[in-house]
Amino acid sequence: MDVASPCQESGYLRRVMIARILFSSATDEWPTPRDFYAKLNRRYRFTLDPCATAENALCPLYFTKEQDGLAQDWGTHRVFCNPPFGMIGKWVRKCFEASLAGAKVVLLIPARTDTRWFHEWIQEKADAFYFVRGRLRFGQARHSAPFPSMVVLYGWGSKIRLAQCARCGQPFDAKRRDAKACSNACRQALHRNTSSAVDVTQCVTRPVEKHWKNQRPV
Ligand SMILES: C[S@@+](CC[C@H](N)C(=O)[O-])C[C@H]1O[C@@H](n2cnc3c(N)ncnc32)[C@H](O)[C@@H]1O
């Protein structure tokens, strides 16, 4: 049995501590990995980034902390939301409520399935959600995030079947249940090297007609 030496252990713990501090709610400025966003944007063509600064905004239309994206009307925009880590529950609720008013939302958040906000605003209400394989590396961070991430969809209907590309690891809208790759290039690469293929990530989808679809936010 492999046993980590005290040195290896302290190195690991140090990295975990650094990552924890960096990703604490003390800072909000952790931008979405560019390649991760690019894949999603290719599919969903986002028009609004409701939590941003002028420097890290992903769409020409965005809201800053001063404008307070939570208090704004998101209209019928196609929204990409990577919220500040400190107030995730409020943003999850806003995403759901905005979708009832016509917005289409993709939300990137830590996968915390034990939280109240997960059970209240995602579990039964999202069109789909899926868990990202591995850990994302946000912005210029040297280390990966100390938490797993999830992508949540509101307002797109149940036709969406998010999956994770078995080659490049990016999320994509799988047209077929057994789809494994996000593009022809990835499909061909997998075909050439089938040994590197891994299973498509399970995702959860919801039927279109759900009773809450017609509910107004409380
Ligand atoms: C995790 S970063 C996301 C940055 C960028 N939109 C992205 O996805 O790469 C969250 C951003 O939300 C901003 N923010 C914090 N509170 C906000 C609020 N109430 N309304 C709008 N933006 C806010 C922070 O300044 C920060 O830039």
Q: What is the DSSP string of 50-107?
A: SS--TTT-SSSSB--TTT-GGGS--TT-EEEE---GGGHHHHHHHHHHHHHTT-EEEE
Q: Which atom of ligand 1 is found nearest the CA of 56? A: 5
Give the model's confidence band at 86: pLDDT under 50 very low, under 70 low, under 90 confident, else very high: confident
Distance 14 CA to ligand 1 centre (A): 28
Quickly tell me which residue has 């996968």 as its tokens. Answer: 111
Q: Whose CA is nearest to atom 17 of ligand 1?
A: 65
Ligand 1 within 6 A of 90 CB? no
- Look at residues 67, 118, 66, 65 and name the one whose alpha carbon lies nearest to residue 95: 118
For the 28-214 domain, the top CATH level (class) is alpha beta
Pocket test for ligand 1, best of 30, 65, 66 (most atoms within 8 A of CB): 65
CB 138 within 8 A of CB 31: yes
Quickly tell me which residue has 């975990």 as its tokens. Answer: 16
38, two tokens? 């690019």
Question: Mean pLDDT of all residues in the chain?
Answer: 81
Ligand 1 within 6 A of 63 CB? yes
Is residue 48's pLDDT more than 80?
Answer: yes
Q: What pLDDT shows up at residue 84?
A: 93
CB-neighbour burial class of residue 6 (10 A; exposed 0-12, middle 13-18, buried 19+) = exposed
Distance separating alpha carbons of residues 52 and 86, to the nearest angstrom: 14
